[in-house]
């Protein structure tokens, strides 16, 4: 009897959740959304999808070529702006540009999508500058863009959507990427609490591994080989050539398992912006739901043992 009652209650909860999440905010054609990193990948796809849905998309691109390509594939409503999230001057100019366009209505949505994945390698192969390069884009740039536009989002009682990653929950490889995504999680959590009283929702997207420019095997291999060339000879001897080759093979295996359906991620971003009752977190991809998020709750000794099985073995062991 208790089992049936639990099943009925669970079913009613899921039905209520499904009903709530299908409700959309009114007046979408009048709402402005700024998306960073629209040259390719998630940002480019999301910009086109929101434009097709009638929202007023402000697409921030790093390059003129990326902006031109996006405008050619979208309606006249979509507008583009050059934005380098590592430049305070560029962020200030983009914020002023957005302010001119949204006026008193404010900015309904800010999607912090811009990000990079390299340099990424075993930590000992990297320098401080290698970490800073990734952190400047994925974390510090995200924070500065958010702070610059937060008054406009607050005016509209809108949404901030931050693209984190399941690598913000576990860190199976070295470099600044996982570090930056852990930081995005922390920043988003604190901002979400602060903005509740203002009616602003702060939402995180946590994708698993998807086929984007960040996971391009050519880019990753080129990055690893370039870093290996700079590794001191003593360190190379400790790791060994076999470690490098195994590392490259594992990169190829991961890339082969990457999901090519980017719509899974952009659908979650769209829901976060248009639903009256968005979730605080969207975990996207079966690898995120069934592997990485469950692993993040296990004892460290157990997750260490699991991840170590997939790590290359050094030539010289302690």
The pLDDT tens digits of the residues spanning 10-67 come to 777 777 776 677 788 999 999 999 999 999 999 999 999 999 999 999 999 999 999 9
* Average predicted confidence (pLDDT) for the chain: 93
CA 32 to CA 58: how far, in whole Å?
7
Residue 160 to residue 163: CA distance in whole angstroms: 10
Q: pLDDT tens digit string along 256-286?
A: 889 999 999 999 999 999 999 999 999 999 9
pLDDT grade, residue 217 (50/70/90)? Answer: confident
CATH architecture of residue range(s) 27-213+259-304:
3-Layer(aba) Sandwich (3.40)
Domain boundaries, the chain: 27-213+259-304
pLDDT score of 307 more than 80: yes
| Cα→Cα distances 273→125, 220, 265, 295, Å | 40, 32, 13, 29
Q: Is the pLDDT of residue 8 over 60?
A: yes
> Looking at residue 11, what is its pLDDT?
73
What stretch of H or E contains 26? none
Q: Return the pLDDT at 316.
A: 66
pLDDT at 119 over 80: yes
| Averaged pLDDT for residues 221-242 | 92
Does the pLDDT at position 5 exceed 80? no
User: 177, 243, 282, 292: which one is catalytic?
Assistant: 177
Confidence of residue 216 (pLDDT cuts 50, 70, 90): confident
Q: What is the pLDDT of residues 54-112, one digit of tens each?
A: 999 999 999 999 999 999 999 999 999 999 999 999 999 999 999 999 999 999 999 99
Q: How far apart are alpha carbons 202 and 187 in whole angstroms? A: 10
Residue 318 confidence (pLDDT) above 60: no
pLDDT bin (cut points 50, 70, 90) of residue 2 is confident
138, 115 in Cβ contact below 8 A?
Answer: yes
Q: Which among 47, 173, 58, 163 has a CA at the least distance from the CA of 116?
A: 163
Q: What is the pLDDT of residue 215?
A: 74
Q: Which of 164, 171, 238 is nearest to 206 (CA)?
A: 164
Q: Among candidates 313, 267, 294, 261, which has minimal Cα distance to 122?
A: 313
Q: How does 28-60 read in b/e, with b if 16+ C-beta sit within 10 Å?
A: beebbbbbbbbbbbbbbbbbbbbbeeebbbbbb
DSSP-assigned letter for residue 290: I
- Measured distance CA(15)–CA(30) in Å, rounded: 30
> Band of the pLDDT at 315, cuts 50, 70, 90?
confident
Report CA-CA distances (Å) from 281 to 88, 176, 182, 270: 28, 22, 14, 13
Least Cα distance to 230 among 300, 160, 129, 313 occurs for 129
* 277 catalytic residue (yes or no): no
State mean pLDDT over 296-310.
92
Beta bridge partners, 82, equal 61
Pick the range with the lowest mean pLDDT from 17-26, 137-146, 148-157. 17-26
Span 177-206, pLDDT tens digits:
999 999 999 999 999 999 999 999 999 999
Nearest-angstrom CA–CA distance, 44 and 141? 19
């Amino acid at each position: 009897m208790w089992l049936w009652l639990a099943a009925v209650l669970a079913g009613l909860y899921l039905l209520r959740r499904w009903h709530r999440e299908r409700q959309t905010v009114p007046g979408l054609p009048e709402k402005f959304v700024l998306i960073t990193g629209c040259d390719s990948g998630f940002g480019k796809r999301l910009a086109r999808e929101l434009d097709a849905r009638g929202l007023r998309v402000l697409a921030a691109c790093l390059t003129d070529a990326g902006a031109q390509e996006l405008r050619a594939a979208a309606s006249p409503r979509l507008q583009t702006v050059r934005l380098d999230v590592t430049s305070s001057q560029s962020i200030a100019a983009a914020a002023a540009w957005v302010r001119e366009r949204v006026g008193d209505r404010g900015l309904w949505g800010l999607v912090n999508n811009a990000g990079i994945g390299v340099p990424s390698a075993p930590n000992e192969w990297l320098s401080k500058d290698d970490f800073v390069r990734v952190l400047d884009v994925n974390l510090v740039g995200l924070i500065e863009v958010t702070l610059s536009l937060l008054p406009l989002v607050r005016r509209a009682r809108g949404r901030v959507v931050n693209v984190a990653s399941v690598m913000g929950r576990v860190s199976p490889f070295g470099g600044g990427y996982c570090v930056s995504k852990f930081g995005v999680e922390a920043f988003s959590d604190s901002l979400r609490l602060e903005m509740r009283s203002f009616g602003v929702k702060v939402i995180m997207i946590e994708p698993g591994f998807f086929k984007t420019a960040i996971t391009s095997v050519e880019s990753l291999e080129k990055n690893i080989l370039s870093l290996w060339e700079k590794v001191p000879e003593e360190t190379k001897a400790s790791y060994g050539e076999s470690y490098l080759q195994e590392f490259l093979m594992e990169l190829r295996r991961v890339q082969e398992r990457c999901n090519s359906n980017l719509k899974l991620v952009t659908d979650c971003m769209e829901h976060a912006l248009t639903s009256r009752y968005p979730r605080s977190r969207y975990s996207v991809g079966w690898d995120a739901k069934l592997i990485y998020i469950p692993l993040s709750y296990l004892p460290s000794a157990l997750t260490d043992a699991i991840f170590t099985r997939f790590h290359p073995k050094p030539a010289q062991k302690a």
